[in-house]
Amino acid sequence: MKRIQYHQYGGPEVMRLEDFEPAPLGADEVLVRVRAAAANPMDFGIRAGRMKHVTGRRFPRAMGYDFAGVVEAVGDRVTRLHVGDEVLGGTPIKSAGAFADVVVAQEKGVVTKPANLSFEDAAAIPTVGITALQALITKGRLQPGQAVFVHSCLGGVGRSAVQIALAHQATVAGSCRDTARSEALDLGIDPVVDFGFDPTSLARRFDLVLDAGGKYSLPVKAARTMLKPGGRIVSILPTPLNLARSVLPGPFHAMIARPVTKDIEEVARAAGQGTLRQPIARTVPLSQAIPALTELEQNGMAKRGKLIITP
């Protein structure tokens, strides 16, 4: 068995494709033969050690969280999934391991893959889909007919949030690079503004403002300007400052996505129905994944979309 792992925290140079033996299955775990896995920005931050307070200092550590594949074995208490099931899901942050021939995951983080969804398309949606769903519905309390503003609306989480909000009969505005304006309009976003927009032009227009940005985080003051009375601001960036803001009275809420089975099932169902999709920019075999991951981390994608790894 092969997987991408590392023996110390650091940059792309610490990644290795090495032999490994999967850990013995826990009672609530499943072993999945990986057919496709997807890269997310968090893969690089975690490998760099930015969450070592969660992931610890035991090495080697595996990489990759989102996957789709076929169940090969199940733990003693697993009842919802069976050997031979085609599934999609994600691993816990502490274990990772999706960039591999096989991966061990908790049953609660894995659901049946819709039959009409390819393994590649299925692998592209778990983290971004669940994060968007929980940001909008769990934290944002989105209701039909409300107005939503999605900052960084064409990123992985932002694009998912737009599609989920539209499916819930909300109206959606958003921000992106000016060069991508036509793509955002085609997705159903209106109005579309550049990252450097003046928030006073959209003052008091939105029931929910979602900051799905990475490098281009939305200032809280700007979000407050755009918010209707009684509205909510949700950020997917759980920085210490944002988490501190969340405990104070007011409209601001930071969040960390959690593996709630019913949420993963809803995301999978939406993908199967065609109302939630992520574009795929590049697909590479596991043997070529380290150069592709390094290029993605250092230069981004020349074409917008997911990097998919197929063992």
**pLDDT higher than 80, residue 216:** no
- At 187 the three-state DSSP class reads helix
| Calpha distance 269→162 (Å, rounded) | 16
Mean pLDDT score, 22-46: 95
Q: Strands 192-194, 171-176: parallel, antiparallel or unpaired by DSSP? A: parallel
pLDDT of residue 53: 82
Proportion of the chain above pLDDT 70, given as a percent = 98
Mean pLDDT score, 205-221: 90
- From its phi and psi, is residue 300 left (phi > 0), alpha (psi between -120 and 50) or beta? left
| Calpha distance 74→28 (Å, rounded) | 8
**pLDDT higher than 70, residue 110:** yes
Mean pLDDT of the chain: 94
Task: Give residue 293's identity as a one-letter amino acid code.
Answer: L
Q: Give pLDDT tens digits for 2-17.
A: 999 999 999 999 999 9
Is the backbone peptide bond immediately before 144 cis, with ω within 30 degrees of 0? no
pLDDT of residue 143: 97
Q: Where are the beta strands (DSSP E) in 101-221?
A: 102-106, 110-112, 147-151, 171-176, 192-194, 206-211
**pLDDT higher than 80, residue 104:** yes
* C-alpha separations of 37 from 22, 121, 142, 228 in Å: 17, 10, 30, 40
**pLDDT higher than 80, residue 302:** no
Q: Give pLDDT tens digits for 137-168.
A: 999 999 999 999 999 999 999 999 999 999 99
Question: How confident is residue 285, by pLDDT bands cut at 50, 70 and 90?
Answer: very high
Longest dimension (CA), the chain: 58
| Calpha distance 284→286 (Å, rounded) | 7
Q: Strands 192-194, 66-74: parallel, antiparallel or unpaired by DSSP? A: unpaired
Residue ranges in the chain assigned as alpha helix (H):
41-47, 52-55, 119-123, 126-133, 156-167, 181-187, 220-226, 240-246, 261-273, 289-299
| Calpha distance 196→175 (Å, rounded) | 9
pLDDT of residue 215: 67
Query: Phi, psi at residue 161, to the nearest 5°?
Result: -65, -40
Mean pLDDT score, 261-274: 97
Extract the tokens encoding 203: 């003052």
Which helix (H) or strand (E) segment is 303 a member of?
none
Least confident of 56-60, 261-265, 283-287: 56-60
pLDDT of residue 224: 96
pLDDT of residue 106: 97
- From its phi and psi, is residue 93 left (phi > 0), alpha (psi between -120 and 50) or beta? alpha
| Calpha distance 148→217 (Å, rounded) | 17
Q: Which of 98, 93, 102, 103 is nearest to 124 (CA)?
A: 98
| Calpha distance 41→152 (Å, rounded) | 14
Burial of 75 (0-12, 13-18, 19+ CB in 10 A): middle
- At 222 the three-state DSSP class reads helix
Q: Which residue has the tokens 């009275």?
A: 249
